[in-house]
Chain A
Amino acid sequence: MSSAAPAEVQAAAVEDGSLAAIARARWEALRGGDVGFLPVLVGIVAITLFFTAKTSIFFTAVNFSNLIGQMAGTTVIAIGVVFVLLIGEIDLSVGYVSGIASVTVAEFQMAGSSHDYPGLVAIGLAIGVGAAIGLIQGSFIAFLGVPSFVVTLAGLLVAQGMIINLLGTQGVIGIQDHQVNDVANYVLTKNTGWIVAAVFTGGLALATLGGYLSRRRAGLPTGNVALAVLRVLFYGGLAFTAVAVCNHYRGVPLVGLIVLFVVVLFSYIAGRTTFGRHVYAVGGSAEAARRSGINVKLIRILCFVICSSCAALGGVIFASRLNSVDLTFGGGTILLDAISAAVIGGVSLFGGRGKVVGALYGGLIIGMISNGTDLVGSADWVKYVTTGLILLAAVTLDTLARRRQAAVGR
């Protein structure tokens, strides 16, 4: 335990909000096992440098636009997985649930059938089916206490079977509906792209200002103002740069905007609402949450509903991207990529730690490796081995961070 005197010095230093004090607090947190997004950012830079050196195609506007399309589905699924990991559970069914949603959206837009609905309705139905699957799986886990590993493994098999059953006779369904196909293929006009970047930056600035004002009104330490401004400028700059790069080619893909929207929405839910707080509480200690009057079962079920719904949206994106659905949907590396993305993005498998935005970073890393190895023309085994090793590194880091934190604690 630290003695009283240095602790008080520290408190004073944090409250004065000087950069040195913030750096020191950050360093303390780092030593305490909270590495934040540092390894992820280092990874992104390293992978970029590596592939840029290997091939001239990697660091181009065209490839950046492609990358957005390639990583979108996996990233959206990973965002859902974050919620399940946060409560210390796992969902192995996300791959085939996304496949079910792909089939559903294709089925409900099928021209000439009795259920030839408009694209948006078909998409809504697909996400609804996902939510229903999450409700069923979550209920088994929350009410009956069946381990999520088993429930979702069973769900994986059932979903896989259903895909074969639904596609059985024709094996493939083409998608003609424009709304469905636009999800992954529409490109925003260049001006719309700029507006999106401006709205994003403005929103971030307003949120930051609101937080600052409410803290000042309450007479609380407000932190370093310059740093907050810098943060807004950094992320705003990032948004404008991304739009500029996309506009250099065809423009910002709509699917990129969808991913951004899902990230912001669920970051907000996880970080700023009572529901989000309770999710973290259940992940930290379900018993403590229960004793505090939190409806743990409801939280558990809702997390599985969110997870399966995101998986369904991911499935819609996959289907839209290929303009058709076939028997391979839901399989392959979708499941492992999505879980890896969440874990690489710093979401702890032990529950209670990690951020939604981590799924975006993790999805970016997985997407970049996949994209880069394809461009370089490496064999598939290189992709698998690299992704596997990065996943192992991420989980090892998480485990060590946890041990480190426990050691600092008492």
Chain B
Amino acid sequence: MSETATATTLELRGVSKSFGSVEALRGVDFEVRDGEVMALVGDNGAGKSTLIKCIAGIYSIDDGDVYFDGKRVSIHGPKDAAKLGIEIVYQDLALCDNLDVVQNMFLGREEHDPLYRLREAPMEQRTTETLKSLAVTTIRSVRQPVATLSGGQRQSVAVARAVMWNNRVVFLDEPTAALGVAQTRQVLDLVKRLAEQGLAVVLVSHNLIDVFEVANRITVLRLGRNVGVYERDKTNEREIVEAITAGMPAAEASA
């Protein structure tokens, strides 16, 4: 991991966000590089969701800077985030149950001719190709409604949608939270494949087993502060748990 010294794709420096008197983020630094899986962990209320929403442009940050490919950018709304190539797969997936896989993949970005007539064939073609490139093979037909898919399949569709639009950074919010063992397996494989394809992947999760399986680095948030960034290979679950619950462990204080 350490030898792939690619530049950071997305970087936050000293980002703060308050809601009234509640400081949700206090001077948080965060970064993720192309081709790596960065895990973002922390207890409830640590500020993970706030951080995601700041990057997504749903909240505006009070203080601090955001850099994309080394250039300072400002994100004022979801459209800005989308333009930079930042895609967020929320926990509730934001899929329309009544629409089929193709329709969901292209939701809000449908291919159409000048008369706003939908061009179904190219959309179906591209959906099929994208799913194939991610080795998602369990979906029997891309024309079946998402309502008929299993949890893992839905997650796959949501992730595939994030990938299809040539995004650079993909945030996955608790992608395995509601899944069984086999489906978790599917999704974790998918996460690895995203990084292999060169994307910067941020995995937000409570499940440290999942995190240790796929993440290259781990950022720990606690009470709105960045406690530390750990290389997966140089840390262990106990250390991470300590960081999550008690803050910075003494041994790593200045490492």
Do A and B come from the same complex?
Answer: yes
* Contact mask for chain B residues 126-155; partner A; CB cutoff 8 A; 1 contact, 0 none: 001000000001111100010111111100
Contact A272 B117 (CB under 8 A): yes
Q: Which of the residues B94, B121, B151 comes within 8 Å of A215, measured between beta carbons?
A: B121
In A207-236, the 8 Å CB interface with B consists of 211, 214-215, 217-220
* Contact mask for chain B residues 97-113; partner A; CB cutoff 8 A; 1 contact, 0 none: 11100010001111010
Contact A220 B148 (CB under 8 A): no
- Known contacts: A8-B137, A293-B79, A405-B147. The answer to whether A284 contacts B98 by CB under 8 A is yes
Secondary structure call for the A interface: helix
In A1-29, the 8 Å CB interface with B consists of 1-2, 4, 7-8, 10-11, 14, 25
Q: Which of the residues B120, B137, B149, B152 comes within 8 Å of A409, measured between beta carbons?
A: B149
Q: How far is the CA of A353 from the CA of B100 in the complex (A)?
A: 12
Contact A406 B116 (CB under 8 A): no
Contacts of B95 in A (CB 8 A): 285, 288
Within the complex, the shortest CB–CB distance from A193 to chain B, in Å, comes to 29
Which of A2, A277, A280 has its CB near the most chain B CB atoms (within 10 A)? A277
Asked whether any CB of chain B lies closer than 8 Å to the CB of A333, the reply is: no
Q: How far is the CA of A353 from the CA of B99 in the complex (A)?
A: 9
Contacts of B97 in A (CB 8 A): 284-285, 352, 409
Interface size class of A (residues with CB under 8 A): 35 or more
Asked whether any CB of chain A lies closer than 8 Å to the CB of B189, the reply is: no
Contact B94 A277 (CB under 8 A): no
In B144-169, the 8 Å CB interface with A consists of 145, 147-153
In A273-317, the 8 Å CB interface with B consists of 273-275, 277-278, 280-281, 283-285, 287-289, 291-294
Interface contacts (Cβ under 8 Å), in number, total: 120
Contact B147 A289 (CB under 8 A): no
Instruction: Please give me the residue from chain A that is nearest to B151 by CB atom.
Output: A410
Contact A288 B107 (CB under 8 A): yes
Q: How far is the CA of A277 from the CA of B98 in the complex (A)?
A: 11
Q: How far is the CA of A120 from the CA of B122 in the complex (A)?
A: 42
Q: Which of the residues B140, B145, B153 comes within 8 Å of A10, measured between beta carbons?
A: B140
Within the complex, the shortest CB–CB distance from B11 to chain A, in Å, comes to 24
Q: Which of the residues B96, B122, B139 comes within 8 Å of A284, measured between beta carbons?
A: B96
Asked whether any CB of chain A lies closer than 8 Å to the CB of B124, the reply is: yes
Instruction: Please give me the residue from chain B that is nearest to A216 by CB atom.
Output: B121
Within the complex, the shortest CB–CB distance from A179 to chain B, in Å, comes to 30
Contact B107 A294 (CB under 8 A): yes
Contact B152 A1 (CB under 8 A): yes
Contact A288 B94 (CB under 8 A): yes
Instruction: Please give me the residue from chain B that is nearest to A1 by CB atom.
Output: B150
Q: How far is the CA of A285 from the CA of B158 in the complex (A)?
A: 14
- Known contacts: A275-B116, A287-B94, A288-B96. The answer to whether A14 contacts B141 by CB under 8 A is yes
- Known contacts: A289-B107, A293-B109, A406-B147. The answer to whether A280 contacts B96 by CB under 8 A is yes
Q: Which of the residues B78, B107, B122, B141 comes within 8 Å of A281, measured between beta carbons?
A: B107
Asked whether any CB of chain B lies closer than 8 Å to the CB of A408, the reply is: yes
Contacts of B93 in A (CB 8 A): 288
* Contact mask for chain A residues 328-356; partner B; CB cutoff 8 A; 1 contact, 0 none: 00000000000000000000000111000
Contact B118 A272 (CB under 8 A): yes
Q: Which of the residues B112, B140, B148, B183 comes within 8 Å of A14, measured between beta carbons?
A: B140
Contact B96 A352 (CB under 8 A): yes
A sample of 22 inter-chain contacts (CB < 8 A) reads A1-B152, A1-B153, A2-B150, A8-B137, A8-B140, A10-B140, A25-B141, A218-B124, A220-B124, A220-B125, A274-B110, A274-B112, A277-B110, A280-B96, A280-B103, A288-B107, A291-B90, A291-B94, A293-B108, A294-B108, A352-B96, A353-B98
18 other A-B residue contacts (CB within 8 Å) besides A218-B121, A285-B96: A7-B139, A7-B140, A217-B121, A220-B121, A272-B118, A273-B112, A281-B107, A285-B97, A288-B95, A288-B96, A291-B78, A292-B94, A292-B109, A293-B109, A351-B98, A352-B97, A352-B99, A405-B147
Point out residues on A near B: beta carbons under 8 Å.
1-2, 4, 7-8, 10-11, 14, 25, 32, 34, 211, 214-215, 217-220, 272-275, 277-278, 280-281, 283-285, 287-289, 291-294, 351-353, 405-406, 408-410
